Structure 1
Amino acid sequence: MSQINDFDPNSVGVKGTLFGLPYTTENAQIVVIPIPWDVTVSYNAGAAQGPKAILEASTQIDYEVPGIPNAWKLGVAMAEIPEVWESLGRSLRVKSEIYIEWLEAGSDEALKDEMDERLAQINAECTQLMRYVEQETEYWRQQGKMTILLGGDHSTPLGHMLACAKEGEFGILQIDAHADLRKAYEGFDYSHASIMFNALQSSKINKLVQVGVRDYCEEEKNYIDASDKRVVTFFDQDIKEAQYKGKTWSEQCTEIIKELPDKVYISFDIDGLDPKLCPNTGTPVPGGLELDQVNYLIKEVVKSGRKIVGADLTEVSPGIDEWDANVGARALYRLTSLIGVSQNML
C-alpha cells in the first residue's frame, strides 16, 4: 500500500508493470489476462506478441483522462503471460501455416490424411486454450476482479466471453473490420474469423452490435440478415456515407447505442481502426475508425447508463517498432478507465 501512496503520477512509472502503475493482481480492481496466441490466423501472424509488446510500451503513457479525474487510481494490473501456451502456440503456428498453404494450393488429395490429422491436433489444442481462458477468467472474477482479455488473435476471447456469460445475459459491442461470423473458417473450430459465430452459440449472449465492418463474405451477410436483429451491423461504408451527407458521429453513436442491451461486453479488434494506426495487425483493411471515435462511442455507452461487464482487446501485432503497441496500450488504458466509471470503481 505504501508504494501506491508514494506513487507520483507525474514522474517515472514502475518498470515491468502495466502502464507503469504500482499495482499487482492482488490489489488491482481490474486484471488484464494476456493470451499470446495466433495459431489460426489466416494472413499475417504476430498477434501472439501483442501482450508483451503492449506491456513494454505501456510505461510511456501519461495518466490524465479528460473527464475522469485520477484515472490511474482505478488499479489495473496484468496477470503473468503464460509461457506454456506461448510456446505451444509457436509450435502449432508452424503446423497451421503448412495446413493453410495446403488449402491455398488446392488441397492435394495425396496429403489429405496428414492434413486432417494436423487440423485435428490444432482444434484439440485450441479447445484446451478456450477452456484455460474460461477457467482463468472465472478465477479472477471470483476474487472480485473485473477482467479484460488481451490477445493474441481474435479467437482468444471466447473463453472469457463464456465465463462472463455465466454471470448473466449481455450484448457484445464489436469494433472490427470483419464480421467474424464464419463457421469453423478453414476448418479451424476456433478460428479468429469465427469468434462471433462461436460466441452466439451461448443463449446468454443475446445481442451482437458490430461497428466498422468492411470485409465480409456472403455467408456472413446472410447470417446477419437471418438473425432477426440479434446481430446488427453498422458497416464502415454506411458510416462514412452518412458522414458525407452530414450526419455527425455523435448522432450515429446514439443509433448504435440504442441497439445495445443494459449490460455490454466490448470486443475491440484493433483492425477496426484505420490501418495507419495498426499497420502490422494480422488482417489490415483500408478504411476504419479513428481511435478517438471508438473512445467516444464507449464513453457514450457508459454515459447512457449501460454497464460494461467485460472486454477484450485483440490483434495488436508489433512490427519493427513500437507504433502498434503504443496505440494498443493507449486503447487499453482508455478502455480500463471507462470500465472503471461504468462499474463505479472510480
Structure 2
Amino acid sequence: MKNNYANIASEYAKKETAKVVLIPVPYNGTDSWQKGSDKAPQAFLKASESLELYDIETDSEVYKQGIFLADAVSENKTPEAMSAAVYENVKTYLNTNKFVTIVGGEHSVSIGTIKAFNEHFDNLTVLQIDAHAGIRKEHLGSKINHNCSMYHASQVTNLVQVGVRSMGHIEKTVIDYDKVFFAHDLATDDYWMENAIEAMTDNVYISFDLDGFDPSIMPSVGNPEPGGLFWYETLDFLRKVFEEKNVVGFDLVELCPNEHDKTSDALAAKLYYKMLSYKFELEKDDSLGIDENDFSTKKNKIGKFSDDEE
C-alpha cells in the first residue's frame, strides 16, 4: 500500500476531506536528452517524507488543509494516450472542487492538464517557468511532446513565460514577445516580476519546469541550461503571484533524479510545499480580513527572504 504524502496522518490524507489532490505522472516517453523523469514522482515523494511540515515564512502547517495522494497516472503506451489519461484524471478532481496539483514526469504531461484546467476556469493564464519555450506545434510527428508542452496553451490561454533561455528558430513565429520574460533580461530588469504579473489574468495555472532554475541549484533535470533562476528570487516571484492572483493549480515537471545526489529531489519537495503554503496561508488571511500589508509585515518579522526586502 502506498504511503500518504509526506507520511502525514491519515486524517489529513483522506480523499473526501482533503482540499489538495496530488497526482503523480511518472512518464518520460518523449524526453530527448537525459532519461529518468519517469522516476521523478517516486523520488519527490521520498524526499517529501523528510520535510519539516511547519513553514517558517508563512507560520503555517499547510498539510492540515488535507493533501490526498491520488493513484499515479500509469498510461504510457503512447504520448497521446498518456495525455488523454492525465486530462481525464485532472478533470475528475477539478469537478470535485479540489486544488489539483501534478508532479511529473516530463513536460508533455502538462498538455492534458492545461486542457482540463482551461475548460474548468474562465479566462485562464498559464504561467510557465521554464528554460525552454516549448511552443513547437509538433515534434517528430506528434503534438504531444515535451518540446510542444506549451503550444496548446499559447493558442487557447493567456500564456506568460518566465526564465526562457533556449528555443528553436521555428518558435520565433509563435512566441509572444510581450509576454515572455527571457532569463537574460531578468538580471537587469528590476520590475520584471511586476510586469509579468501585470500580463496575467485573474485565474492563473502555474506550470513549473524545474530546469527554470539555474543548474547550480537544480542539476538533476532532463535538459539543464545555464543562466537560470535562483531560490529566493523564485520564491519572491511566486509569493507575489499567489498574493495578487487566484492560483487555481500547478504542476512541477522535469525532475530527473540522480541516485547519488538527492539535493534536487529535496528542492522539488520543498518547492511544492512552499507553493501550497503560499496558496492556503493567503486564503486564510483573506477570510480573516487581513490585507496584503499585514501579511508582508508578518513575513518581515519572521525573516527576510530576498535582497529587495532588506
User: Does 1:313 pair with 2:260?
Assistant: no
Secondary structure of 1:185's aligned partner: coil
Structure 1: gaps (5+ residues): 1-14, 93-124
> In the alignment, is the contact (CA less than 8 A) between 1:40 and 1:188 conserved in 2?
no
Q: Deviations over 1:9-38 (max 9, x none)?
A: xxxxxx922122222333311101111101
Structure 1: distance between partners of 2:134 and 2:199: 19
1:215 alignment partner in structure 2: 166
When normalised by structure 2's length, the TM-score is 0.84
1:187 to 141, 145, 148: 141
8 Å Cα contact 2:247-2:279 kept in structure 1? yes
| Aligned twin of 2:183 | 236
1:283 corresponds to which residue?
Answer: 223
1:11 aligned partner: none
Q: What is residue 41 of structure 1 aligned with on the other side? A: 31
How is 1:153-192 mapped onto 2 (pairs within 5 angstroms)? 153-167=106-120, 168-192=122-146
Which amino acid is the alignment partner of residue 251 of structure 2? D
Could you tell me which amino acid in structure 2 is paired with residue 233 of structure 1? Answer: V
Q: Tell me, what secondary structure is at the counterpart of 1:317?
A: coil
**Conserved? CA contact 1:53–1:325, under 8 Å:** yes
Please, which of 4, 18, 21 is the counterpart of residue 8 of structure 2?
A: 21
- AA of the residue aligned to 1:43: W
TM-aligned CA deviation for residue 344 of structure 1: 5.1
The answer on whether the counterparts of 1:17 and 1:55 sit within 8 Å (CA) in structure 2 is: no
Name the SS of the counterpart of 1:40 in structure 2. coil
CA contact (8 A) 2:181 2:192 kept: no
**Compared CA separation, residues 218 and 58, structure 1 to 2 (3 A):** same
1:1-346 to structure 2, matched below 5 A, reads: 16-22=3-9, 23-65=13-55, 66-82=57-73, 84-85=74-75, 89=76, 125-167=78-120, 168-202=122-156, 205=157, 207-224=158-175, 227=176, 229=178, 232-242=179-189, 247=190, 251-304=191-244, 306-320=245-259, 321-341=261-281
Which range moves more in the overlay, 57-66 or 67-76?
67-76
In structure 2, relative to structure 1, the CA distance for the partners of 1:236 and 1:162 (3 Å cut) is same
Cα distance per residue 1:51-96 (max 9 Å; x no partner): 01101110111122212433232222221224x43xxx4xx6xxxx
Secondary structure in 2 matching 1:139: helix
CA contact 1:307–1:342 (8 Å) conserved in 2:
no
Asked whether the equivalents of residues 123 and 201 of structure 2 are also in contact (C-alpha less than 8 Å), the reply is: no
Query: Partners in 1 of 2:279 and 2:67 — Cα distance?
Result: 11
- C-alpha displacement at 1:157, in angstroms? 1.4
Give CA deviations for 1:175-226 in whole Å, capped at 9, x if unaligned.
Answer: 1000101121232321101011122333xx1x111111111122222322xx
CA distance in 2: counterparts of 1:241 and 1:27, whole angstroms: 46
Number of aligned residue pairs: 279
